[in-house]
Amino acid sequence: MPKLAQIDKDDEKGKNDFNRLIKLSLDITLVASLFLVLNLMINSNEFVPWFFGNQFRPMIKNMYFVSLILVLISYGGVFSGQFALAKGYYKEYSIPYFVGAAVSLPLNIFLVSKYQANGGTLAIIITEFFVCMVRIFVVRKKIDMHYMVKGQLKYILVTVACIITASFYKFNMGNPVLTMVLNTMSYSLVFFIFILLFNLKRIKLYLQIRKRDN
């Protein structure tokens, strides 16, 4: 955020630097949040009863699905905290919070009263989805959105593929901690191998730029 605030994006060089920095932040944020979601989802069956106790087993599915908000909050946060706030777009920064409150209140009243914890989980996911979409919508004309989201679908597809695979093939060592460690290590390795493969060109370009600058 301080770096973005310093950049004058009115001149051509500043605009390019600004876009590259936002794009880098978005990509890293998306990959990191997807990585966390992947591990929360594949370990939810073991983690909930181990950490909270067997009486909390019905909450496994809640932890599984509510982990999605990690992506929505962090990804949308780049547009609000690192872009809108850094460049002084205070109205665009504030609007999503009001939308979130307006969506969350009626959803919670209706869904929690009818579906209890499952309703609360659904209300949180829907609210954060709307907040994320509004954060993107209010700054869409101030930023090159096509460039920002370019190539990000493959990260989502890798995560989805890992989650689907984990639903059929997982370690089960009898010990929940050992099971979580092995599943986390194996699927994290697969996840990052594919992320690196998808970014070989970018990594090579970065190394070439560093070599030239040095």
Delimit the domains of the chain by residue range. Answer: 2-213
17-22, Cβ contacts within 8 angstroms, sequence gap of 24 or more: 19/143, 19/144, 19/147, 19/148, 22/78, 22/82, 22/83, 22/143, 22/148
Q: Which two tokens stand for residue 128?
A: 């954060």
Task: Give the whole-number percent of the chain exceeding pLDDT 90.
Answer: 68
List C-alpha distances in Å: 214 to 17, 76, 208, 211.
Answer: 19, 35, 10, 5
Higher pLDDT, 207 or 199: 199
> What is the per-residue pLDDT for 165?
94
Q: How crowded is residue 103: how many other Cβ atoms within 10 Å of its Cβ? A: 18
Q: Are 90 and 145 in contact (CB under 8 A)?
A: no
Q: Write out pLDDT tens, residues 52-85.
A: 999 999 999 999 999 999 999 999 999 998 888 8
Q: Write out pLDDT tens, residues 137-168.
A: 999 988 889 999 998 999 999 999 999 999 99
- Give the pLDDT band of residue 204 (cuts 50, 70, 90): low
Average pLDDT, the chain: 89
pTM of the model: 0.89
